Amino acid sequence: PVNFLQELPSYRSIARKRTNIPSRDKQSGTLLKPTDSYSSQLEEGIAENLNSQSIRKYALNISEKRRLRDIQETQMKYLSEWDQWKRYSSKSWKRFIEKAREMTTHLELWRDDIRSIGGKFGTGIQSYFSFLRFLVLLNLVIFLIIFMLVLLPILLTEYKITNSSFVLIPAKDIDIQCTVYPISSSGLIYFYSYIIDLLSGTGFLEETCLFYGHYTIDGVKFQNFTYDLPLAYLLSTIAYLALSLLWIVKRSVEGFKINLIRSEEHFQSYCNKIFAGWDFCITNQSMANLKHSSLRYELRADLEEERIRQKIAERTSEETIRIYSLRLFLNCIVLAVLAACFYAIYRATIFSQEHMKKEIDKMIFGENLLILYLPSIVITLANFITPVIFARIIHYEDYSPGFEIRLTILRCVFMRLATICVLVFTLGSKITSCDNYSCELCGYNQKLYPCWETQVGQEMYKLMIFDFIIILAVTLFVDFPRKLLVTYCSSWKLMQCWGQQEFAIPDNVLGIVYGQTICWIGAFFSPLLPAIATVKFIIIFYVKEMSLLHTCRPSPRQFRASNSNFFFLLVLLIGLCLAVIPLTISMAHIPSSKACGPFTNSNTTWEVVPKTVSTFPSTLQSLVHGITSEAFAVPFFMIICLVMFYFIALAGAHKRVVVQLREQLSLESRDKRYLIQKLTEAQRD
Amino acid sequence: MGQCLRYQIHWEDLEEYQALTFLTRNEIPVCRLNIHDTFLKLCPPGKYYKEATLTTDQVSSLPALRANPFRDRICRVFSHNDVFSFEDVLGMASVFSEQACPSLKIEYAFRIYDFNENGFIDEEDLQRIVLRLLNSDDVSEDLLTDLTSHVLNESDLDNDNMLSFSEFEHAMNKAPDFMNSFRIHFWGC
């Protein structure tokens, strides 16, 4: 029957489209050697699609491609002048684009390192490192935006490079008490206070351009115009948030398109695992053995999961009720654990803030640092303990294995990122709560926080430094000793149980997304934070690479690259959304400090925008007012909803058509087989 | 032990190879360098590199292909009369390079996976693919039939228990890992 199938016109036309060569020689299985009929058929093929693809895309070997190209060039002579010129210019344009692309790939950072990691440890871990590289670039671009919009005019004026001056508008209608900003300078400075200042952003670092308080300027007057610094500061914040969102969405669109097209269960495609399961770039035998065992594990686990899902579908209603009530109870426990951690962070922050205000210079060195870093320490401890608890709890909830992993990871992600929000909200509540008298004077607690944005910036700075120190410390004091112990004391039972380190992708990804969320929140309050984050991520890249190459063994359970990319970008997006919330609240609700910063003349940070809009010409003003009014927003929202419903209906209709076509196709195929069978029987008679 | 005549690749040849394949300017000489070393050790004396050939065993033992479970199929698809000329190797490297277009990779993947070379990937081919992937001795019949039936469920659109080229192409266009995994770096190994 297969012989007949190969003679069918549909098979032949597809074969011709593929290679421009007639049917394959069955015995040798290789392509036919060129003959006269071959070249005439080639010409037919070319005449069919004269605007065809470039020669490279043909599935022929090089000598045949050469012949094809010669034929194409002789064909070109029969074209008109215009067509020839068009063909020539499109070819040279394509060549130019390729050369440009080649040159940009040389500029790609760490290309060889990441490739060699992929060859040795698989594409899942390789995608972790390319994710890290993406974050380095993102932070660099964010810092460039902030530099161009905010730092550059100030530096130009300070160092007298251009002929400009600062504009300082005196504050009006504000109580003089709000503008008092005592810079603490004690008499005797101990030598270690510099170290404390460096680690916590107080003292000599507080007035530098690292923090918000340095930018107490209302404008920079150049020769022809006045550069509005408060507006630039606000716009740089909005710009970097928007840029991060767009870049992340652009990166995730490729993976998303593929996932949306599929109708099957996400991550569960057997075709993908079998035809695209083997990483062809694996070069050493031990890695190949590992890949074999991971494929064995994965395929068996998938089949197992199917069986469990069938079992779940066959549950009796009694069992279902029991399982659901158990799950409800366990979720309450999870919520209780989360609430306990959040409360601990809340108390630690309040304790740290209260004691920081007291005589911190009179304390001993260690106690100093402990109080300053208490929130960070509590957050880190909570992030060590809760994944263990979650992993224990989920066993009792009786989900399928794939779902278990995903739910645990989701809970850990939420835990990690929500801790930062809790910290920021605690600070916010402390800033807006005044104990004896109400905050009517300045809108915030100006006795304790004369310049509250700088202090929030200092907390973010401390979190970032502490996170960096912890990552370095864990690598130095846990990973390397573990590897040494395993290598030299492998006879101990404990070492055999514990074993060598595996590179745990989810934990590492959460760590760097945590760092990036801190950077996003902190960049408003501390404009140099993205630069620090860039340097930090660069150092982390090399540290993690060394740790991976020298202390880790490849994990038997490997993440796939496609899963990984989607997961990383999803977590990053959650971090971005969680970072935007405290920023919007602090920009729109909490009054900006009147003692420092660019927003001393407006009530809140956001007020700069309405003020600027009121300086526009009146037509533009009314346009802006029109767009932001309800009369525009409500119909706009309704139109968007209608468009969305239209596309959903369209997608449903397409899906129905696809199902019908598939049924039709299988019916046709049955007919075809029946006819072939009849034909073979008729031939036999 | 012979010595091949050591010729530098002429500039025009390099340009031509770059136009005809997906390899970049840097990859061709290095690729050739690797092959050239092997050529040096194994080919008969006094032969120009363009005319020298390698056997499939020699290509199978290249570091890039050594650990690949499908290396015999790769060699069979890309060789002519069971030998590799220099241009055959270049063609192979071009298909597996990063810049190659998806349609070319899908075409050659289909040829590689079609073990019995009847123009379709049928159940027998699928079973052999799975056995090569798992590379273990105790694979139960149930597991094999389960896996093959799942693959056919997902991608066999006309229900004839075989994958034709269009069905395979359709399935690979939806597979997110295909482009990433169907890559071999012949240089720098």
CB pair distance less than 8 Å for B175 and A292: no
pLDDT at A136: 94
Boundary residue ending a domain (A581, A612, A628): A628
Out of A283, A299, A669, the one facing B67 most closely (by C-beta) is A283
Q: CB distance A19–B126 less than 8 Å?
A: no
* Predicted local distance difference test score (pLDDT) of residue A29: 34
Check residue B17 and report its DSSP letter: H
For residue B26, pLDDT over 70 is answered with no
Distance CA A522, CA A423 (A): 12
Does A630 have pLDDT greater than 70? yes
pTM of the predicted protein model: 0.81
Give the H/E segment covering residue B162.
strand B162-163
Q: Is residue B34 part of a domain?
A: yes
Of B123, B112, B121, B115, nearest to B170 by C-alpha is: B121
Average pLDDT, chain A: 81
What is the C-alpha radius of gyration for chain A, rounded to an integer number of angstroms? 33
Q: CB contact, 8 Å: B66 with chain A?
A: yes
Confidence of residue A533 (pLDDT cuts 50, 70, 90): very high
For residue B187, pLDDT beyond 70? no
> Other C-beta atoms within 10 Å of A640: how many?
10
- A627 pLDDT higher than 70: yes
Provide DSSP, B73-96: HHHHHH-BTTEEEHHHHHHHHHHT
Q: Say which CATH number the domain at B87 has.
A: 1.10.238.10
pLDDT at A462 over 70: yes
Q: Do B181 and A278 touch (CB under 8 A)?
A: yes
Most confident range (mean pLDDT) of A215-219, A409-413, B2-6 is A409-413
Q: Is A115 a residue whose pLDDT tops 50?
A: yes
d(CA B58, CA B38) in angstroms, rounded, equals 8
A553, β-bridge pairs? A502
Neighbour tally for A100: CB within 10 Å:
10
Residues A623 and A634 in one domain: no
Within a domain: A16: no
Confidence of residue A205 (pLDDT cuts 50, 70, 90): confident
Q: Searching chain A, which residue's CA lies closest to the CA of residue B65?
A: A283
Q: Do B68 and A288 touch (CB under 8 A)?
A: yes
Give A290 or A424, the one with higher predicted confidence: A424
Inform me whether the pLDDT recorded for A22 exceeds 50: no
To the nearest whole angstrom, how far is the Cα of B46 from the nearest Cα of chain A?
23
Q: Which of A595, A589, A623, A624 is nearest to A607 (CA)?
A: A589
pLDDT band at A577 (very low <50, low <70, confident <90, very high): very high
Helix (H) or strand (E) holding A106: helix A81-107
Instruction: Using alpha carbons, list the distances in angstroms from residue A632 to A416, A625, A637, A639, A645.
Output: 39, 10, 9, 11, 20
pLDDT at A441: 72
- Does the beta-carbon distance from A282 to B90 stay under 8 Å? no
Residue with tokens 């601990």: A344
In a domain, A495, yes or no: yes
Q: Which of A73-87, A516-530, B2-16 has the lowest mean pLDDT?
A: B2-16
pLDDT at A465: 92
Question: For A577-589, what is the mean pLDDT?
Answer: 90
Is residue B25 a part of any domain in this protein? yes
Q: What percent of chain A has pLDDT over 90?
A: 21
Percentages of chain A per state (helix, strand, coil), in multiples of 5: 75, 0, 25
User: What is the 8-class DSSP label of residue A20?
Assistant: S
Please check whether residue A666 touches B, CB under 8 A: yes
Q: Is residue B3 part of a domain?
A: no
Q: Which of A54-58, A206-210, A462-466, A674-678 has the lowest mean pLDDT?
A: A54-58
3-state secondary structure A589-636: CCECCCCCCCCCCCCEHHHHHHHHHCCCCHHHHHHHHHHCCHHHHHHH
Which of A341, A348, A523 shows the shortest CA–CA distance to A419?
A: A341
Per-residue pLDDT band for A485 (boundaries 50, 70, 90) equals: confident
In this complex, which of B107, B126, B181 lies closest to A276 when CB atoms are compared? B181
Give the nearest partner residue to A280 out of B94, B117, B182, using CB atoms. Answer: B182
In a domain, B129, yes or no: yes
Is A294 inside a domain boundary?
no
List the structure tokens of A620. 């533009």
Closest residue, chain A, to B79 (C-alpha): A30
Give the Å distances, CA to CA, from A417 to A389, A434, A509, A534: 17, 28, 12, 20
A307, pLDDT greater than 90: no
Q: Does B118 touch chain A (CB under 8 A)?
A: yes
The answer to whether A427 touches A459, Cβ cutoff 8 Å, is: yes
Distance CA A511, CA A473 (A): 14
Q: Is residue B188 part of a domain?
A: no
Q: Which of B97, B105, B141, B159 to mutate to test the interface with A (most CBs of A within 10 A)?
A: B159
| Per-residue confidence (pLDDT) for residue B48, from 0 to 100 | 61
For residues A245 and A250, what is the distance between their CA atoms, to the nearest angstrom?
A: 9
The two structure tokens encoding residue A67: 């012949």
Does the residue A177 lie in any domain?
Answer: yes
CB atoms within 10 A of CB A220: 21
Concatenating the DSSP letter of every residue in A310-335 gives HHHHT--HHHHHHHHHHHHHHHHHHH
Residue A626 to residue A616: CA distance in whole angstroms: 14
Across A488-510, average pLDDT: 76
Q: Which of B146, B174, B182 sits opposite A262 (nearest CB)?
A: B174
Range of weakest confidence among A24-33, A198-207, A482-491, A525-534: A24-33
The mean pLDDT of A433-453, rounded to a whole number, is 75
Q: B104 lies in a domain?
A: yes
Banded model confidence at residue A544, pLDDT cuts 50, 70, 90 = very high
Grade residue A340 by pLDDT with cuts at 50, 70 and 90.
Answer: very high
- Copy the structure tokens of residue B170: 């359709």
What's the pLDDT at A372?
82
Residue type, A679: L
Same domain, yes or no: A607 and A534: yes
Domain shared by A209 and A199, yes or no: yes
Q: What is residue A2's predicted lDDT score, i.e. its pLDDT?
A: 67
Helix axes A62-76, B11-20, angle to 10 degrees: 90
Determine which helix (DSSP H) or strand (DSSP E) holds A221, and give its type and residue range: strand A219-221
Q: Which of B32, B177, B184 to mutate to test the interface with A (most CBs of A within 10 A)?
A: B177
- In this prediction, residue A648 has a pLDDT band, given cuts at 50, 70 and 90, of very high
pLDDT computed for residue A45 by the predictor: 47
**Amino acid symbol at B15:** E
Token code pair at residue A438:
């109400």
Q: For B108, name the nearest residue in chain A, comparing CA atoms only.
A: A59
Q: Which residue, among A54, A274, A282, A660, would best test binding to B if mutated, counting the most B CBs under 10 Å from its CB?
A: A274
Half-sphere exposure of A612 (CA within 13 A, CB side): 13
Chain B residues within 8 A of A280 when measuring between CB atoms? 68, 96, 181-184
Closest of A141, A106, A324 to residue A239, by C-alpha: A141
Q: Is the pLDDT of residue A517 over 90?
A: yes
How many structural domains is chain B composed of?
1
Residue B3, pLDDT score: 42
Domain count of chain A? 2
Structure tokens at B17: 């190879």
More confident site: A403 or A621:
A621
**Could you give the CA distance from residue B35 to residue A569 in angstroms, rounded to a whole number?**
40
Confidence (pLDDT) at A26: 33
Whole-number Cα distances in Å, A483 to A479, A486, A495, A504, A547: 6, 5, 10, 15, 10
What gap in Å lies between CA A511 and CA A507, rounded to an integer?
Answer: 6
Per mean pLDDT, which range of A90-104, A256-270, A488-502, B146-160 is the poorest? A256-270
CB contact residues (below 8 A), chain B span 121-180, against chain A: 126, 129-130, 133-136, 143, 146-147, 150-151, 154-155, 157-160, 164-166, 168, 171-172, 174-178, 180
Query: Strand, coil or helix: what is B122?
Result: strand
Burial of A309 (0-12, 13-18, 19+ CB in 10 A): middle
Q: Is residue B33 part of a domain?
A: yes
| Contact check, Cβ <8 Å, A280/B177 | no
The residue segments making up the domain with residue B20 are: 14-182
Q: Are residue A513 and residue A633 in the same domain, yes or no? A: no
Return all residues near A347 (Cβ < 8 A) that are at least 6 apart: none
Q: Beta partners for A616?
A: none
- Window 548-577 of A: residues touching B by CB (8 A cutoff) are 560-562
Give the model's pLDDT for residue A521: 93
Report CA-CA distances (Å) from A119 to A308, A335, B133: 34, 42, 18
- pLDDT confidence band for A541 (50 / 70 / 90): very high
Confidence grade of residue A38 (pLDDT, cut at 50, 70, 90): very low
In this prediction, residue B65 carries a pLDDT of 84
**A427, A353 contact by CB (below 8 A):** yes
d(CA B183, CA B189): 14
**Helix or strand run (H / E) with residue A166:** strand A165-167
Domain check: are A242 and A152 in the same one? yes
Contact A605, A592 (CB under 8 A): yes
- Report the range of poorest mean pLDDT among A17-31, A215-229, A440-454, A645-659: A17-31
Q: Is A171 inside any structural domain?
A: yes
* Most confident listed range (A117-131, A259-273, A455-469): A455-469
Identify the pLDDT of residue A142. 95
Does ipTM exceed 0.90? no
Interface residue A318 vs chain B (CB under 8 A): no
Mean pLDDT of A142-151: 93
Q: Which pLDDT score is estimated for A387?
A: 86
Segment among A506-520, A566-580, B20-34, B114-128 with least mean pLDDT? B20-34
Closest among A333, A330, A332, A337 to A386, alpha carbons compared = A337
Residues of B in contact with A281 (CB under 8 A): 64, 181, 183-185
pLDDT range class, residue A358, cuts 50, 70, 90: low
pLDDT recorded at residue A208? 82
- Residue A348: pLDDT over 50: yes
Sequence-separated (6 or more) residues with CB below 8 Å from residue B166: A14
CA distances (Å), origin A431, targets A358, A442, A497, A534, B106:
17, 11, 50, 30, 61
Mean pLDDT of A577-594: 89
Q: What is the per-residue pLDDT for A261?
A: 52
A217: pLDDT strictly greater than 90: no
Instruction: Tell me the nearest-neighbour CA distance from A461 into chain B, angstroms.
Output: 39
Higher pLDDT, B39 or B78: B78
Q: In the predicted model, is pLDDT for residue A32 greater than 50? A: no
Q: Are residues A448 and A573 in the same domain?
A: yes
Contact A123, B180 (CB under 8 A): yes
Say yes or no for a CB contact (<8 Å) between B177 and A115: no
Q: How confident is the model at residue A24 (pLDDT cuts 50, 70, 90)?
A: very low
Q: Which of B16, B104, B176 lies nearest to residue A562, judging by beta carbons?
A: B176
- In the structure encoding, which two tokens stand for residue A240, read together? 């970097």
In terms of Cβ atoms closer than 10 Å to its own Cβ (0-12, 13-18, 19+), residue A593 is buried
Both A615 and A648 in one domain: the answer is no
Q: Region B99-128: what's the mean pLDDT? A: 89
Residue A468 pLDDT:
93
Q: Is B41 on the interface with A (CB under 8 A)?
A: no
With b for 16 or more beta-carbon neighbours within 10 A and e for fewer, the A459-477 pattern comes to: bbbbbbbbbbebbeeebee
Q: What is the pLDDT of residue A430?
A: 85
Predicted local distance difference test score (pLDDT) of residue A52: 44
Domain boundary among A591, A609, A628: A628
Q: Which member of A115, A292, A299 has the closest CB to residue B147? A: A299
Calculate the alpha carbon distances from A208 to A178, A194, A203 in Å. 21, 14, 10
Summary mean pLDDT of chain B: 78
pLDDT band at A291 (very low <50, low <70, confident <90, very high): confident
Query: CB within 8 A of A376, min separation 6: which ones?
Result: A462, A463, A466, A467
A628, A644, A659: which is the final residue of a domain?
Answer: A628
| Structure confidence at residue A36 (pLDDT) | 39
pLDDT of residue A572: 92
Residue B172 structure tokens? 């690979």
Residues 6+ apart with CB under 8 A from B17: A62, B23, B28, B90
Q: Are residues A516 and A371 in the same domain?
A: yes
Q: Which residues pair with B53 in a beta bridge?
A: B85
pLDDT at A31 over 50: no
Specify the range with the lowest mean pLDDT, choosing from A190-204, A328-342, A520-534.
Answer: A190-204
Highest mean pLDDT among A366-370, A560-564, A675-679, B51-55: A675-679
- Give bridge partners of residue A165 from the DSSP assignment: A221
Residue with tokens 């199938």: A5
Q: Is residue A677 part of a domain?
A: yes
Give yes or no for a contact between B120 and B158, defined as CB atoms under 8 angstroms apart. Answer: no
Q: Give the DSSP H/E element, type plus range, for residue A226.
A: strand A226-227
Range of A36-45, A229-238, A285-294, A383-392 with top mean pLDDT: A229-238
pLDDT tens for B142-173 read 888 988 998 998 888 888 888 888 889 888 88
Which residue range(s) make up the domain with A462?
111-264+315-628
The reply to whether B37 touches chain A by the CB within 8 Å rule is no
| CA-to-CA separations, B85 to A260, A378, A685, B82, B90, in angstroms, rounded | 44, 65, 49, 10, 9
In a domain, B189, yes or no: no
